[in-house]
Amino acid sequence: MIGGTYAPGADPIVLLAFASSQRSRRRSCKSTLGGRSLVPGVTDEFVDPILGGLRRGLAREYGTITVDRFGWDPVETSPAITELAAQILAMALTLGHAPDAAEVTTWIESLP
């Protein structure tokens, strides 16, 4: 699970990151995804995939993206799926309007 905000601006895109979960790997983030709680925060293994996905998904050149929500599962979450989720997040945030179901389906189908 990943979430964040986009604020338009005059400066080139700035990617801001997140709370760390280096010290606690306790599942305390409730989720409706699969019925299990997730570990909140970002560990080192997810930083580069998140930043890479955000860069690939940007639809605009200026502004600030802040990732302020991230939850992961020690078994089900991989760097690869995290990168794809970050890419979709960036696409949605910088689109300029709420994507409809058809747009999201097109994005997902175009992913590697």
In DSSP notation, the chain reads -EEEEEEEEEEEPEEE---B-SS-----B--SSTT--BEESB-HHHHHHHHHHHHHH-S-SEEEEEEEEEEE-TTT--HHHHHHHHHHHHHHHTSSSPPPHHHHHHHHHH--
Give the total number of structural domains in the chain: 1
Q: What is the mean pLDDT of residues 59-80?
A: 85
Alpha-carbon distance of 26 to 89, in angstroms, equals 25
The model carries a pTM of 0.79
User: Which band of pLDDT confidence, cut at 50, 70 and 90, is reported for residue 7?
Assistant: confident
Q: Give residue 74's pLDDT.
A: 81
pLDDT given at position 23: 57
What is the predicted pLDDT for the residue at 27?
Answer: 66
Average pLDDT, the chain: 82
Where in the sequence is the domain holding 86, given as residue range(s)?
2-110
